[in-house]
A and B are shown apart, each in its own frame.
Chain A
Amino acid sequence: MSGHNIKINKEKLDKVAKDILKPVGFGPGFLTWMSFLTMALLACIYAYVIQYQKGLIVTGMRDMVSWGMYIANFVFFVATALVGMLISGVIGLLGYTWIKPITRIAEIIAVAFAAVAGLVIVSDMGRPERLLNVFIHGRVQSPILWDVTVVTTYLVISTLLYLLPLIPDLAIARGRMQNAPKWMMKLYEILSFKWTHHPKQYKLLFKATRLLIILVIPTAFAIHTVTSWLLAVNSRSGWDSTIFGPYFLTGAFVTGMAAVIIAVFFFRNNYKLRDYLGESLFDKMGKLLEFVCVIYFYFNLNEFVVPAYKMKEFDAIHIHELFLGKHAIMFWFSQIFGLLIPMVVLLWKPFRKPLPLFIISLFVLVSAWLKRYIIVIPTMEHPFLPVQNLPHEWVVYQPTIIETAVTIGSIIMGLMIISVLAKLFPVIPIWEMAEEEEGTKTKII
């Protein structure tokens, strides 16, 4: 690994750089898209302002169900963010080179979703101005503090994993983007850290990246395991599970893969990068999605069949609500369209072609969101202690319009971050694509 010297092919580089740098920059199409997002976001921010002034009473959360859509949404964001670790960390460390063109896209998603996950948690606070107290008066014994810590750490590592491999590309781009605005070139200059393609610089870069991709694995495991513990350290039915950590983690891989596939499909078509994001890449991503779906299915089997077989008093109520009760439609929709059908159809190659895979991923992603809702809310509706004489609307949970708007706002914000990053910097690592020898990625590991 250390003895290896990277060699970049000049002709290849010229072509790759030309193709990949072409969509970079804020064109009119982008500005229209962003103004649309901004307008929608303003409406959502207005909803948040109302919540800020009046407090959480404007949400559907009450005495019994004190965790609602926000927490479900938070879990969804954290889950999706994990894909950065799956691609760069797990698959990268295993030495697969096909991930090269999608590593940066995966990291963009990781950064965007991890950043927004933090904001989503703040939106669940009645007094967000007291956020600092979480740190000042945090209890080391509480998974809430662990979660806050680890989300922050994961965001930092993901950002570094995004920025570091970008350094050579920015140096390459500086010489080739003559008509880019001045501020952009200035930013490129700063972020390329005086990169001269010095072989020693490459060695250091490999070293730092290697460290980060090793570091990101335990951190990502921690982030989602701790998120699952927020629920699993309770003895409530539906949360009281020893496999909640791996159950969440594998679920996160499914969600994250779907998000990456959607993004890759988008860039392939809109950025005209078909040569780099080809059909064989989609086939590989489809297989990976199939693989994580099977594991997730296995955990679902354990998570639902075992309690359903025993039907312990309180579990029985919970499971009945999910299987046949008022959450049944959502539950079966997410299980069937988000897991079972994808798992089955992805076995056939035609379904792993770009368009079918894209559609399947859309279903998976939507189902993944609904699944988090199913994990958080029904359990809250069935506490162990009998609750008497509460008004009906305190007992059942119904998200309000304000709550929904704030949640949509978080999704818009995630989209905005992704959009800006995807226009500000190249979405595919140019230097890695222009290597003389294909195997460098393997060798840095």
Chain B
Amino acid sequence: MNKYYLIVVVCVCAVLNVTAQNTWVVPQDQKEKLSMVEFTESMQKSGADVFAGKCTACHGTPGKGNFNALLNPSPDDPASEKFQLNTDGELFYKISEGRVTMPSFKSALSKADIWNVIAYVRSFNTTYVQETAEKIESNIPEGTVLSLNLDYEEEKKALKLKLTGTLNGEESVVGGVEVTLAVERYFGNLKIGEGKTTNKSGLAYFILNDEIPGDSIGNVKLIAQVVETELYGDIKTEKTLQIGAVNNKPALNAERAMWNTVKKAPLWIIFGYTGSVLAVWFFIFYVLFVVKKIYALGKEDIPEDQKVI
């Protein structure tokens, strides 16, 4: 009896273990996370754009059920009940962190974008009622329009970010807000150091290593951003400054190369080809010259003792 009891326990544990693997557990505090603002139609619209670009490949179009069924675990249709049973916080966490085949989007999408996608996904749920979190930041008056300014400060050899807010035509500096700075590269952006918080005068300084490669005259494109986009909106500024190292690398087709035009072919191949052709044809013409000599000899008399036949 005891033996059977043990087997049952083992089996139950095994089953539970499997289900434990299948449920995606989200930490309690993340589960309760809420959007700061009420979803708007424009949020849904930009969410739809993000979804179309980043999610359709696996999740299909919401409500159509055309998700990629080959994946395991299944990605599911975002309009499905199972999907919609997630709290906003759970959706936010799952999209940010990802799991196995579901990619993590926390570096690819801004937080505002993730909220936009959630707004879009929720638009397929008719019974959904949204709860929002209160605004905790109180030192910025309601209706303030924030803007970020980016400059290079010669004497400090640093980049200066300045955050200002405008309310009723009056401008004021905004402190205590986290900002980041990045340099645009070929494939994605390179972050310069860690994020910094603006001081009382609304300023944050970033020391830029002047070894950052620029273009042929040292230009680099910089992108400054407010980190908490969900709180302040997508506040961003881009500027090209001549502060990088001059990069004079020639274009790929500037020098002699196998893939270039004939005139810019590698010298060894030009000489190798023409050299061999000339060498062989030199001898061919020499042979023709010998034939001409044979022809000329036809007029000569042959001494009797040298006759071949």
Q: Which residues of A approach B to under 8 Å, CB–CB?
A: 5-8, 10, 13, 138-141, 145-146, 149, 153, 156-157, 160, 164, 167, 193-202, 204-205, 207-208, 211-212, 215, 218-219, 222
Is B273 part of the contact surface with A, judged by Cβ < 8 Å? yes
Is B212 part of the contact surface with A, judged by Cβ < 8 Å? no
When the two chains form their complex, are residues B298 and A195 in contact, meaning their CB atoms are under 8 A apart?
yes
B245-270 interface with A by 8 A CB criterion = 258-259, 261-262, 265-266, 269-270
When the two chains form their complex, are residues A204 and B297 in contact, meaning their CB atoms are under 8 A apart?
yes
A194 CA / B297 CA spacing, docked (Å): 8
Cross-interface CB contact of A197 among B269, B288, B293, B308, cutoff 8 Å: B308
Cross-interface CB contact of A196 among B273, B281, B302, cutoff 8 Å: B302
When the two chains form their complex, are residues B269 and A204 in contact, meaning their CB atoms are under 8 A apart?
no
CB distance from B263 to the nearest CB of A (A): 10
When the two chains form their complex, are residues A197 and B258 in contact, meaning their CB atoms are under 8 A apart?
no
A139 and B308 in contact (CB under 8 A), knowing A149-B277, A200-B300, A215-B284? Answer: no
Q: Which residues of B approach A to under 8 Å, CB–CB?
A: 258-259, 261-262, 265-266, 269-270, 273-274, 276-277, 280-281, 283-284, 286-288, 290-291, 293-295, 297-300, 302, 306-309
Q: Give the residues in chain B near A199, CB-CB below 8 Å.
A: 302, 306, 308
When the two chains form their complex, are residues A215 and B265 in contact, meaning their CB atoms are under 8 A apart?
no
Interface of B is mostly: helix
When the two chains form their complex, are residues B291 and A140 in contact, meaning their CB atoms are under 8 A apart?
no
Q: Give the residues in chain A near B280, CB-CB below 8 Å.
A: 153, 157, 215, 218-219
When the two chains form their complex, are residues A205 and B294 in contact, meaning their CB atoms are under 8 A apart?
yes
Q: Which residue of B lies closest to A200 (CB)?
A: B297
CB distance from A148 to the nearest CB of B (A): 11
Counting chain B CB atoms within 10 Å of each CB, which of A8, A141, A153, A197 scores highest?
Answer: A141
10 closest A-B pairs by CB: A194-B298, A208-B290, A193-B295, A197-B308, A208-B287, A140-B273, A8-B309, A201-B297, A199-B306, A201-B294
Cross-interface CB contact of A167 among B258, B284, B294, cutoff 8 Å: B294
Known pairs A194-B298, A208-B294. 14 more at Cβ < 8 A? A6-B308, A7-B308, A8-B308, A139-B262, A140-B265, A140-B270, A149-B277, A157-B280, A194-B299, A198-B302, A204-B293, A207-B290, A211-B287, A215-B280
Cross-interface CB contact of A153 among B274, B277, B286, B288, cutoff 8 Å: B277
A167 CA / B269 CA spacing, docked (Å): 39
A139 CA / B280 CA spacing, docked (Å): 20
Q: Give the residues in chain A near B265, CB-CB below 8 Å.
A: 139-141
A197 CA / B258 CA spacing, docked (Å): 53
When the two chains form their complex, are residues A156 and B284 in contact, meaning their CB atoms are under 8 A apart?
yes
When the two chains form their complex, are residues B284 and A5 in contact, meaning their CB atoms are under 8 A apart?
no
Cross-interface CB contact of A157 among B284, B298, B306, B309, cutoff 8 Å: B284
Cross-interface CB contact of B309 among A13, A139, A156, A167, cutoff 8 Å: A13
Q: Which residue of B lies closest to A9 (CB)?
A: B309
